[in-house]
Each structure stands twice: as C-alpha cells, then as structure tokens.
Amino acid sequence: MNDHLRTFTARRQSWFGLKLPVKTALAQPALHPLLRTIAPRIRGLKIGRLPAPIELTEIRGRAGGADFILVEPFRCEIAKEFYWGRGRRTEPEDAFALDLMVALSADADVFLDIGAYTGVFTMAVLAANEHVRAHVFEIIPAVVAGVEKNVERNGFNSRVTVHPTGVGSPDTWMKVPIGDGGSALPSFYSSDMRFDSDAEVRFTSLDALLPEVLAEASERDPQLHAGEGVPDVSNRGEAPRVTVKIDVEGGENDVFAHGQDFLAALHPDILCEVLDDRAKPRELMGHLGEHGYRYYLVGEDRLYARTTIRPDPRLRDWLFTLKSPDQMRAAGYPVD
C-alpha cells in the first residue's frame, strides 16, 4: 500500500508544499494586530485555521472554570485556536465538548485521553480536578513530544502517564511518520493509513488497561483494592470513576471491540469523535448497546438525546453514558 504522505489527499492537505511558506508569511508578528481586528469580521472565515504569530511560545486556555497552558501555538492546531478564540476554542461545539468533558470528570479518579494530540483535554481536566490522574495515548512521535511539553509546562508530571502507543487491536504494530516536518503537528492520522517510515508504534487494548486503571484508582481509595491482584468491582458502588475521550479518526470500533471487559467493569462516561465519512454506526452501537449506553450528539451548547447513532456531517462528537436524559438534566446538563 502507498505511503499516505505521497497520496493526492495528503499532498492536497499540504497545498502541494505551499502551506508552510504561506503560513509562515501570515504568522509574522507585524501582521497580527490587523489580522485579529479584521479576520473575525469576515463572514464564513474559520479564524481558528489561521496561524498564530510565529514568535508566540504559549497561550492560556480556559475550560470549566480552570486555566491551563498550551505551548507552541504556531505548530499546534489546537493551541492556535485558543489564540484566536482569546482563551477558548473557536468553534462553539468544540468549546462545549471541552467544557462537557471537564464537568463529567469533576469527580473522576482516572481520565483516559485516547488520540490525545497535544493533550488539550488532559490539560483542561487536570487543571479543573486536582485529584484525577490521566493516561494519554498518542502515536506520532513529534506529537507525543508536544504532549510532554504541555504536561511539563502545566506541572502535571506526577499526574500523567504518556503512552506513545495506540489503543485498538492489541499487539499490532504500525509504521508512523515522525511528524516533525510540515506546517503543523499532524492531527488526522489513523490506524488504517500506511507510511514508509522507520518509526513504529505498538497498539494495546482498552481491556489491557483495566488492571492498571483499577490499581491506580485503588491507591487513592484503598477500599477499592480487594487483596492481591485486580480489585473486585463487581459491585458498581465500589468501582472507580473513569472518564474517557476518544479521537482516533474512525478507529473507535477497534477500541470498543477490544474493550468490552473495560466497559463492563467501569461503565465510563465517554466523549467520542464519530466521523460522518468513516464511522460504522451499526457496529459501534453493537459494542456499546449491550452495556446499557445511551447516545447524545454534542451540539454547540447542548446535548441531543438519540436512540441511535447517526453520524452528523457537521457535529463530530458524541457522549456515551449510562445516564438518562432526565438524569443528565438533573445534573445540570442541557439536553434536548
């Protein structure tokens, strides 16, 4: 199979080699006072796609009432949004999804960020909840380095484990690009792409993470630990609170297919990207339905309760949770 970076799609995404020089020109500091004044007034322009000033080393973000830092906004696709959004993500549905994950994780013991990119969800969740620990999973070496820089800058080293691995079908390997070239850190690579590269990453399964998550949660609450080995969570009242964010560019069915024990034991609240052109909703509902999950499409400022998963061409994120619409409303979440 051809190297994805040599395909027409990848070349078009880089504007056939022109994207970096154009971006560098627009990122010159002298232009930005004018750009920040004019760009938000241009109808139809997605300002979050414009580059941040090349000299800017970090930007402050805010979600769920807590502040955090993202570094290198010139290269980080998410950090530059906080520059243009003045501390918030520029698309309302993305800002709402981030606030939603922070709120759902307010009493969590462990947060899993699968397909983390540079870790914006982890930074926001940990900034708002001083007790939660996070596990971050990312497959591109340069992006992993970006996560580590954000973890270090926010002082979260003791609370975050960064895994340079994928989550999906266990014990498989994938060649990946280093990711240190181009106009930005790549944010759209998936496990079904192929690359000519010397770098390889291993995939683990969600089920394989269960003993580690349970053992880690038991350190915070010794009552979770039932003797040696994996804690017994057959009683849901004794299970740790776990939240999960999944953004794997269409690979979510592999994550859930090899995570059935994890879902059965912990029933985590899950924020998951479901892409209109890649999703397999029938299979996805098969993985989730038997565990009692309900489906909510994440909108610009509210959740839309759905009985089935039908990918939306514009709204990408879904919340999967055991909570009913009435329970969500009672907890303060806007639900239609």
Domain ranges of the chain: 88-330
Condensed to tens digits (0 to 9), the pLDDT of residues 84-122 reads 999 999 999 999 999 999 999 999 999 999 999 999 999
Average pLDDT, the chain: 87
pLDDT classification of 4: cutoffs 50, 70, 90? very low
Task: Average the pLDDT over 45-52 and give the result.
Answer: 84
**Alpha-carbon distance 317 to 53, whole Å?**
29
pLDDT surpasses 70 at 10: no
The model scores a pTM over 0.85: yes
pLDDT classification of 127: cutoffs 50, 70, 90? very high
The SS3 assignment for 311 reads: coil
Task: Average the pLDDT over 186-202 and give the result.
Answer: 69
Predicted pLDDT of residue 20: 62
Task: Average the pLDDT over 302-318 and give the result.
Answer: 97
Measure Cα distances from 19 to 6, 22, 117, 195, 267 in Å. Answer: 16, 5, 20, 21, 43
Predicted pLDDT of residue 30: 79
Check residues 32 and 232 and name the one with the higher pLDDT.
Answer: 32
**Alpha-carbon distance 9 to 260, whole Å?**
34
Q: Residues 213-226, buried b or exposed e (16+ Cβ, 10 A)?
A: bbebbbeeeeebbe
The SS3 assignment for 211 reads: helix
CATH 3.40.50.150 fits 88-330, yes or no: yes
Condensed to tens digits (0 to 9), the pLDDT of residues 136-189 reads 999 999 999 999 999 999 999 999 999 999 999 998 888 887 767 666 686 666
DSSP state letter for 174: E
Cα-Cα-Cα-Cα dihedral sign, residues 218, 168, 204, 129: negative
DSSP 233-281: --SGGGSPPEEEEE--TT-HHHHHHT-HHHHHHH--EEEEE--TTT--H
Task: Average the pLDDT over 238-261 and give the result.
Answer: 94
pLDDT surpasses 90 at 1: no
pLDDT classification of 190: cutoffs 50, 70, 90? low
Predicted pLDDT of residue 295: 98
Q: Phi/psi at 231 (nearest 5 deg)?
A: -60, 150
Q: Give the pairing of strands 133-137 and 166-167.
A: unpaired
pLDDT surpasses 50 at 39: yes
pLDDT classification of 195: cutoffs 50, 70, 90? low
**Alpha-carbon distance 152 to 293, whole Å?**
35
140 in Cβ contact with 189 (< 8 Å): yes
pLDDT surpasses 90 at 52: no
Determine what percent of the chain is predicted with pLDDT higher than 70.
81
Predicted pLDDT of residue 35: 82
Give the residues across from 28 on adjacent strands.
none
Counting Cβ atoms within 10 Å, is residue 321 exposed (0-12), middle (13-18) or buried (19+)? buried
